[in-house]
A and B are shown apart, each in its own frame.
Chain A
Amino acid sequence: MHAFHIRGGRLIDPRQGVDDELDVIIQEGRVARIGKGLATPTGALVCDGRGKIVSPGFVDLHAHLREPGEEGKETIESGSRSAASGGFTTVCAMPNTQPPNDCRAITMLILTRAREVSGVHVYPIGAVSRGLLGAELADIGELKEAGVVALSDDGKCVMNARLMRRALEYGRTFDLPIVQHAEDHHLSDGGAMNEGPSATRAGIPAQPAEAEEIIVARDLILVEMTGARYHVAHASTARTVAMVREAKARGLPVTCEVTPHHLALTDEACATYDTSTKMYPPLRTRADTVALAQGLADGTIDAIATDHAPHSANAKHLEFDCAAFGVIGLETALPIALSLVSSGVLSLPTAIERLTWGPARSFKLHAGTMPEGSVADVVVIDPDLEWIVTAEDTASRSKNTPFLGQKMRGRAVLTIAGGRALCDRSKVLP
């Protein structure tokens, strides 16, 4: 294992309240020293940090790594490379694999595979309901024991209010947040994009924003009833942000994430029938993107989470209403976050916080900060590096991104997880 000396970069570690030009020394897989003008230890590889940002490795609360069962789309190994390429060193894996992660055996399998092939830290999320069927609770206690960090039926909403109540109650004992994919399936049924003028014009079957908001409203009432931790997955509407803001003001144990694509794109992008703009929740309106960005800025939204959802080209080269829902996102999250800094919506430390400590504290993960002595999960960012998103350059096994062919600004140039350099665009490694 190499030692590293990251010299002269702007270190931003929001958890530690650090934003200063500081050297970082990594030895034996840990952050050995942080300070000004440090001497290079013998044998350490030197990374020139001038003009760069040094941050704790990013934490993604929401990724679909597809293993086990759908390895053609992604594997833990390829998803891990995709994460490292985007600056992420910790990834939470959603349970809608095949079979779903609703029991100890699957959780153990994911953790074992991750140890074998993944450089980044993979934390499994367990299912709320057995088989993700929304009927009866999965073995939540055993899932916790096996190592899950949260519970979710993501991809589907926990529609049954009674089951949701029980999940919150039972989950509270094991200190696991329930991560809700908020979608009233009766209201959203068949909808392939956001309901509104764009869908009406394009003639695409649509689902209203209210399908999400009704579930969030119901769930917040249940959170008040149970006192359990609740996390809104991929918030996409202005009213969701307002409700979460209000719930937090009342002291409810609620956290919230937003995806990069819901910050960057609107439903007008669907008008060309480009199936890479089809995902759940659907892209919303300009007013929603503005509210989401404000929510991110004022702390209503705790985390930028990718909802990285790899799909094969076959599942996307179809008519819009037939194509699969979902886009990949691990490799483009950072430049989209930085674009909000350029446009003055977020400060740079806030953007970094929402990629590091914000998500880590939402799921109580030991990640997202890098004090001396901590496991060395560190990313060096060149905020000015311009690059174009291409299929060839995408580490994910799937290429379903609406940003293909687009120019991005800002990229990870060195991603170190557990002291190992997994992505090295700065050519530090010998």
Chain B
Amino acid sequence: MMTHLLGIEPLDKTTLVALLDRADAIHEGKPPSDAVAGRTVVNLFMEASTRTRTSFEIAAKRLRADVVNVSESFSSSKKGETLLDTARNIDAMRPSVIVLRHGSSGSPAMVAKHVRARVVNAGDGTHEHPTQALLDCGTIRQKKKRIEGLTVTIIGDILHSRVARSNLHALGKLGAIVRVAGPRPLLPRGIEAMGALVYDRVEPALEGADVVMVLRLQHERMTGGYVPSLRDYSRFFGVNGKNIHAAKHDAIVMHPGPINRGVELSSDVADGPRSVILEQVAYGVSVRMAVLEAVAVTS
């Protein structure tokens, strides 16, 4: 039983597999349950997002829930209201589920302690982005028919990536071998303790990989002095039509979006035959339906 979805870390393997099985079934056209039909889902997005918010909104609507979107520009945070006050006020209107995207790590866990609604983490700071990891794992399973024993290489800004962290938890629980690669300033200390094999060069990290997951390099990382320039990053840490050949011939390429074309990923790879990027997006709706069902059942 899953009350909230705050991250992948607290989930056991059985729960994880059950969610993916349910998402698969929905993805193959099985009719959704009416667990959240007629109930209210609030998408509380305190950080810019188009893809994830839209995906959650479509997922909720396909479950026939009433969806309310509260985004940063309309929220009270700019008027100085605290996150807890905002959350409590929304909760007073009795939604079944609050889907929260927030820039501070741990904020969904904090909110969950103070509201009646179920809380789904739609990305918190640099902590977790559990539905992204679920949709990534689901897409890998669809393509590779398994996860156990696969080598998955995650390339890019590992330090600031909640996607990398959630995937490290999920892929680890499901038995994959996970490599992380990037420039050393973007490799956090102690990432090995999360089960990652660490590389500071792209080519050896790609060698023999079944899955290549490329992360977005945010432009503000340059001002933070983590890397010298987009040019240098792209040249030495970008994935392109040349170095991708180090991976297995049938390796798939993934990206959580949005892509900086020509920076972390070249267009020929992003749009090439290995790319499953749009399939990730499609599967994302199914996964979020499975998640909303699962948490709503307990509310």
A273 at the interface (CB under 8 A from B): yes
A203 near B126: Cβ-Cβ < 8 Å: yes
Q: Which one of A197, A203, A206, A321 lies within 8 Å of B165 (CB-CB)? A: A203
User: How far is it, in angstroms, between the C-alpha of A201 and the C-alpha of B104 when the chains are bound?
Assistant: 14
A429 at the interface (CB under 8 A from B): no
A319 near B190: Cβ-Cβ < 8 Å: no
A203 near B82: Cβ-Cβ < 8 Å: no
Which of the four size classes fits the interface of chain B?
20 to 34
B83 at the interface (CB under 8 A from A): yes
- Least Cβ distance of A190 to chain B in Å? 9
B188 at the interface (CB under 8 A from A): yes
User: How far is it, in angstroms, between the C-alpha of A202 and the C-alpha of B126 when the chains are bound?
Assistant: 8
B127 near A202: Cβ-Cβ < 8 Å: yes
Contacts across chains A and B counted by CB atoms under 8 Å: 73
- Least Cβ distance of B126 to chain A in Å? 4
B173 at the interface (CB under 8 A from A): no
A196 at the interface (CB under 8 A from B): yes
> Hey, which bits of chain A sit against chain B, CB under 8 A?
195-206, 208, 272-273, 314, 317-322
Closest 10 pairs (CB-CB, A-B): A197-B190, A203-B127, A273-B106, A319-B104, A203-B126, A197-B193, A203-B105, A200-B188, A200-B190, A319-B107
Q: Give every chain B residue within 8 A of A202 (Cβ-Cβ).
A: 105-106, 127
In the complex, what residue of chain B is closest to A314 when comparing beta carbons? B82
B102 near A319: Cβ-Cβ < 8 Å: yes
Once A196-B190, A203-B126, A321-B125 are accepted as A-B contacts, the answer to whether A273 and B109 lie under 8 Å apart by CB is yes
B194 at the interface (CB under 8 A from A): yes
Q: Which one of B106, B109, B125, B189 lies within 8 Å of A200 (CB-CB)? A: B189
Once A320-B105, A321-B104, A321-B105 are accepted as A-B contacts, the answer to whether A201 and B83 lie under 8 Å apart by CB is no
In the complex, what residue of chain A is closest to B168 when comparing beta carbons? A201
Once A197-B193, A201-B165, A203-B162 are accepted as A-B contacts, the answer to whether A322 and B188 lie under 8 Å apart by CB is no
A319 near B193: Cβ-Cβ < 8 Å: no
A320 near B104: Cβ-Cβ < 8 Å: yes
Contact string against A for B residues 120-143, beta-carbon threshold 8 Å, 1 for contact and 0 otherwise: 000011111000000000000000
Q: Which one of B82, B83, B126, B190 lies within 8 Å of A205 (CB-CB)? A: B126
- Least Cβ distance of B162 to chain A in Å? 6
Q: Give every chain A residue within 8 A of B9 (Cβ-Cβ).
A: 201
B246 at the interface (CB under 8 A from A): no
Q: Give every chain B residue within 8 A of A200 (Cβ-Cβ).
A: 165, 188-191, 193-194
User: How far is it, in angstroms, between the C-alpha of A206 and the C-alpha of B109 when the chains are bound?
Assistant: 19
Q: Give every chain A residue within 8 A of B126 (Cβ-Cβ).
A: 203-205
Q: A196-B189, A273-B110, A320-B106 are in contact. List 6 more A-B contacts (CB 8 A).
A: A197-B194, A200-B189, A201-B194, A206-B188, A273-B109, A320-B105
